[in-house]
Amino acid sequence: MSDTFHLAIIPDGNRRWARKNGLKGYKQLYDRGFQGLSEITETAFEIGVTHLSLWGSSHSNLSERSSEFFSSIDRAFRDNVRKFVENPAIEKYDVHINIIGEWRDSLTPKTVEVFEDAMARTAHRTGRELTILIDYSGTRERTAAVHSILTDQKSDVPTEQLLRSRSWTGRLPDVDLIIRTGAWTDPHNSAGFMSLLVDEAQYSFPELLWPDFTPEILTSIVHEFNERERRHGK
């Protein structure tokens, strides 16, 4: 393993799990999902992950759903990000929390304040990095990066390095492994997820919905990944 290990997780299948288990109410559902994220985060850092990226919501999740859904997920984000900061694992592993996406333009001022506070309180930490992607779209990230280059008359001829330097996720190391739950019957990436960082990433599609994903399953997937020989096309 290199000095960094960047694991990205797409926690898909929450609503299908809720229908299957008779769970009603968006707030209760997303509280349950965030509870799992907290447990998985601690385990990930325990087993050697240095950079963990979690997809909290896509841009379309927040822009194309009902007002009831938005209100519920906004409160869930606010309550659970606050809890994330207080998780003992955040201090134990000296975790810097970074929240990426267009959430400042979409979430309520109270929730934005909680997010800003979470990042400010952990900004000095350097042991691990936890990135939460909220109101995120890889397509919109690339578009914003290109727009930044085109509107900056002092910039050099666009290169991969320049594009990455202007992107939201560009300061992160390349993603090594992506785990996506809830998609084993149709395994795919979506919305250009962290597309500037995943050229050499490997994928895992465990056959379960997100609320059924456990620390033990995560440990097994990471162990299997570490046992593989990675040729990178050679």
Partners of 99 in beta bridges:
132
Q: How far is it, in rounded angstroms, from Cα 85 to Cα 91? A: 8
Q: What is the largest CA-CA distance in the chain?
A: 57
Asked if residues 119 and 97 have their Cβ atoms less than 8 Å apart, the reply is yes
Bridge partner list, 180: 10
Question: What's the pLDDT score for residue 5?
Answer: 97
Kindly state the helix (H) or strand (E) to which residue 66 belongs, with its residue range.
none
Predicted pLDDT at 149? 84
- Residue 54 near residue 11 (C-beta atoms within 8 A): yes
Q: What is the residue-level pLDDT of the chain in tens, covering all 234 positions?
A: 469 999 999 999 888 888 888 877 777 777 777 878 888 999 999 999 999 999 988 888 787 777 888 888 898 899 989 988 988 899 999 999 999 999 999 999 999 999 999 999 999 999 999 999 999 999 999 999 988 888 876 666 557 788 888 899 999 999 999 999 999 888 877 778 998 999 999 999 999 999 899 999 999 999 999 998 665 555
* pLDDT for 113: 97
> Residue 95 in contact with residue 129, Cβ under 8 Å?
yes
- Output the pTM of the full model: 0.91
Half-sphere exposure (Cβ direction) of 124: Cα atoms closer than 13 Å: 2
Residue 2: what pLDDT? 67
d(CA 111, CA 79): 8
Q: How far apart are the first and last CA of the chain?
A: 18
Domains and CATH numbers, the chain: 6-227 (3.40.1180.10)
What separation in angstroms does the CA of 198 have from each of 62, 177, 189, 203?
Answer: 24, 8, 10, 10
Q: How many CA atoms lie within 13 A of 96 on its CB side?
A: 12
